[in-house]
């Protein structure tokens, strides 16, 4: 029996990277999982299939978390499929680092990050909490960034920090508002080897390792482990907190 047996979890942005690792980890711990995605239906279905092969139920559901109607539909389809929601992980984020994103205007990148990372977290948290209170209780885990605590000196970082700093501050307010039935906590990942990290050149990769007290890049599984803990009964007396998963680069 896993720590989350018979729990129902929604993970936004779960088709790849950190979201995929979180969805798989929650399933491995016994949860039934909704794998949310915005574009990658094939990848999301693959994640759901892995969870099902592990013995749990899973469903891939498309939704743009920056749209209220999509978030409400995501919840409705979750309840139709599984009858309740106990865990909601707000992992979806706008990519402003890879592909054609760096060539877009600063205004466009700002608007997209604010819509997905900040507004999306707000919409999903409020929608999830209402359902959790109505059915039983629950845990919400939101994604911030370790450098919102110290800053980083480049224009892209400023955009990202504005959204992720907002997520951190908002989560503390929501933790007070939704207590005692719903716990709200935040993960602040650091240098995690996702798509951008995998494409980094040797000099950048080495500089990250050299700057990290634990002397390595983080893996998506490192973040997933922290999420599982915060979603479990082991964290039943923890709310409004932030866990930095960054190998010691930023020490809160």
What is the average pLDDT score of the chain? 95
Provide the token pair at 140.
Answer: 């919400």
- pLDDT at position 1, please? 63
Distance CA 60, CA 153 (A): 38
- pLDDT at position 102, please? 76
Greater pLDDT, 199 or 49: 49
What pairs with residue 189 in β-bridges?
245
Is there a contact between 15 and 35 (Cβ–Cβ < 8 Å)? yes
Q: Report percent pLDDT > 70 for the chain.
A: 100
- Read off the pLDDT of residues 228-242 as tens digits, 9 standing for 90 and up: 999 999 999 999 999
Domain residue ranges in the chain: 8-245
Is there a contact between 41 and 66 (Cβ–Cβ < 8 Å)? no
Bridge-based pairing of strands 32-37 and 8-11 is parallel
Distance CA 250, CA 252 (A): 6
CATH of region 8-245, choose from 3.40.50.720, 3.40.50.150, 3.40.50.1000, 3.30.379.10: 3.40.50.720
- Read off the pLDDT of residues 166-193 as tens digits, 9 standing for 90 and up: 999 999 999 999 999 999 999 999 999 9
For the question of residue 160 being annotated catalytic, the response is: yes
Distance CA 22, CA 230 (A): 12
Distance CA 237, CA 252 (A): 20
Distance CA 4, CA 26 (A): 7
Provide the token pair at 212.
Answer: 């990290």
- pLDDT at position 201, please? 87
Tokens 């370790």 found at: 146
Asked whether the predicted pLDDT for residue 2 surpasses 90, the reply is no
Provide the token pair at 150.
Answer: 């110290």
Q: Which of 107-111, 131-135, 170-174 has the highest mean pLDDT?
A: 170-174
- Read off the pLDDT of residues 204-223 as tens digits, 9 standing for 90 and up: 999 999 999 999 999 999 99
pTM: 0.96
Of the candidates 160, 178, 191, 217, the residue annotated as catalytic is 160
Is there a contact between 97 and 144 (Cβ–Cβ < 8 Å)? no
Asked whether the predicted pLDDT for residue 52 surpasses 80, the reply is yes
Provide the token pair at 102.
Answer: 């760096």
- Read off the pLDDT of residues 137-153 as tens digits, 9 standing for 90 and up: 999 999 999 999 999 98
CA angle, 224 as apex, 83 and 216 as ends, to 5°?
170
Closest CA to 216 of 174, 180, 249, 178: 249
């Amino acid at each position: 029996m896993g720590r989350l047996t018979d729990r129902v979890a929604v993970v936004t942005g779960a088709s790849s990277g950190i979201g995929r690792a979180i969805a798989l980890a929650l399933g491995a711990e016994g949860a039934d999982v909704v794998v949310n995605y915005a574009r990658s239906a094939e990848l999301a279905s693959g994640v759901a299939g892995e969870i099902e092969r592990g013995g749990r139920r899973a469903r891939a559901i498309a939704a743009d978390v920056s749209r209220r109607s999509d978030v409400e539909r995501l919840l409705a389809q979750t309840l139709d499929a599984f009858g309740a929601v106990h865990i909601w992980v707000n992992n979806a984020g706008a990519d402003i680092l890879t592909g054609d994103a760096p060539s877009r205007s600063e205004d466009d990148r700002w608007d997209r990050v604010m819509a997905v990372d900040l507004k999306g977290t707000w919409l999903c948290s409020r929608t999830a909490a209402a359902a959790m209170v109505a059915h039983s209780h629950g845990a919400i885990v939101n994604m911030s960034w370790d450098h919102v605590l110290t800053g980083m000196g480049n224009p892209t970082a400023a955009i990202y920090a504005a959204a992720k700093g907002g997520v951190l501050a908002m989560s503390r307010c929501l933790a007070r508002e939704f207590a005692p039935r719903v716990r709200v906590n935040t993960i602040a990942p650091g240098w995690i080897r996702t798509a951008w990290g995998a494409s980094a050149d040797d000099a950048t990769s080495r500089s990250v390792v050299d700057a990290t007290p634990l002397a390595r890049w983080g893996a998506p599984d490192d973040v997933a482990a922290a999420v599982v803990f915060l979603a479990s009964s082991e964290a039943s007396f923890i709310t409004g907190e932030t866990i930095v998963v960054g190998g010691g680069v930023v020490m809160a």
